[in-house]
Structure 1
Amino acid sequence: MIPLAAAPTVPLLDAPPRRRASRGRVAAVLAILVGTATVIGSYVLAVLDPAGRAVDDRLLRAAEGLGLRRDALGLLELVGIPSVALAVLVLGGLALARRRLDRAVAIVALVLGAQLVTQALKAGLVRPGDDDANSLPSGHVTLVASLGVALVLVVPRLLRPLAALAAVAVTGIAGVATMLAGWHRPSDVLAAVGVVVATAGAVTLAGALLRGRPRPRPA
Structure 2
Amino acid sequence: MVAAAGFVFAAVVYVLAVLTKAGQAIENAALRGADRDDVSETDAAWQALGQITVYSLAAAVVAVALAGALRRRWDLAAAAVGVIVAGQVVAQVLKRFVLPRPALVEVTGDYARNSLPSGHTTIAMTVLFAAIIVVPWKWRGVLLFFVLPWATAIGHYTLTAKWHRLSDTLAADGIALALAALASWWLQRRGSLRPHTGPRRAGRVVLVVFWSVVAVVTFALGVALWVFPLVAEGSTADEWVIYLGAGSFASAGSLLAALAFLWCWRRVE
TM over 0.5: yes
Equivalents in 2 of 1:38, 1:153: separation in Å? 22
Over aligned residues, Cα RMSD in angstroms?
Answer: 1.8
Q: 1:63 aligns with which of 34, 37, 40?
A: 34
| Percent of paired sites with the same residue | 33
Q: 1:81 aligns with which of 42, 49, 54?
A: 54
CA deviation digits over 1:41-80, x for unaligned, max 9? 1101111111122111212222232033333111111001
Relative to structure 1, the CA distance from residue 156 to residue 173 in structure 2 (aligned partners, 3 Å threshold; closer, same or farther) is same
Of residues 198-207 and 153-162 in structure 1, the stretch that sits farther from structure 2 once superposed is 153-162
Aligned-partner residue type, residue 172 of structure 1: T
- Aligned residue in 2 for 1:202: 182
Runs of 4+ in 1 over 3 A off after TM superposition: 164-168
The question of whether the paired residues in 2 share the 8 Å contact of 1:34 and 1:198 is answered with: yes
- Aligned residue in 2 for 1:48: 19
- Aligned residue in 2 for 1:122: 95
Normalization by structure 2: what TM-score?
0.64
Equivalents in 1 of 2:115, 2:121: separation in Å? 12
The reply to whether residue 35 of structure 1 matches residue 10 of structure 2 is: no
The question of whether the paired residues in 2 share the 8 Å contact of 1:149 and 1:167 is answered with: no
The question of whether the paired residues in 1 share the 8 Å contact of 2:87 and 2:175 is answered with: yes
Equivalents in 2 of 1:167, 1:125: separation in Å? 30
Aligned-partner residue type, residue 30 of structure 2: L
Equivalents in 1 of 2:63, 2:4: separation in Å? 30
List alignment gaps of at least 5 residues for structure 2: 193-269
Aligned-partner residue type, residue 31 of structure 1: V
CA deviation digits over 1:70-118, x for unaligned, max 9? 3311111100110111121112111110111111101111000011111
What secondary structure does 1:135 align onto? coil
Normalization by structure 1: what TM-score?
0.77
Question: Shift of the alpha carbon at 1:121?
Answer: 1.1
Query: Which structure 2 residues correspond to residues 101-140 of structure 1 after superposition, within 5 A?
Result: 101-123=74-96, 124-129=98-103, 132-140=112-120
The question of whether the paired residues in 1 share the 8 Å contact of 2:86 and 2:179 is answered with: yes
The question of whether the paired residues in 2 share the 8 Å contact of 1:149 and 1:164 is answered with: no
The question of whether the paired residues in 2 share the 8 Å contact of 1:36 and 1:198 is answered with: yes
The question of whether the paired residues in 1 share the 8 Å contact of 2:64 and 2:81 is answered with: no
Aligned-partner residue type, residue 53 of structure 2: G
Question: Shift of the alpha carbon at 1:172?
Answer: 1.6
Aligned-partner residue type, residue 41 of structure 1: V
Equivalents in 2 of 1:152, 1:197: separation in Å? 12
Relative to structure 1, the CA distance from residue 203 to residue 177 in structure 2 (aligned partners, 3 Å threshold; closer, same or farther) is same
Q: State the structure with bigger RCO (CA 8 A, min sep 6), 1 or 2.
A: 1
Question: Shift of the alpha carbon at 1:165?
Answer: 5.2
Larger Cα Rg: Structure 1 or Structure 2?
1
- Aligned residue in 2 for 1:215: none
The question of whether the paired residues in 2 share the 8 Å contact of 1:64 and 1:179 is answered with: no
Aligned-partner residue type, residue 42 of structure 2: R
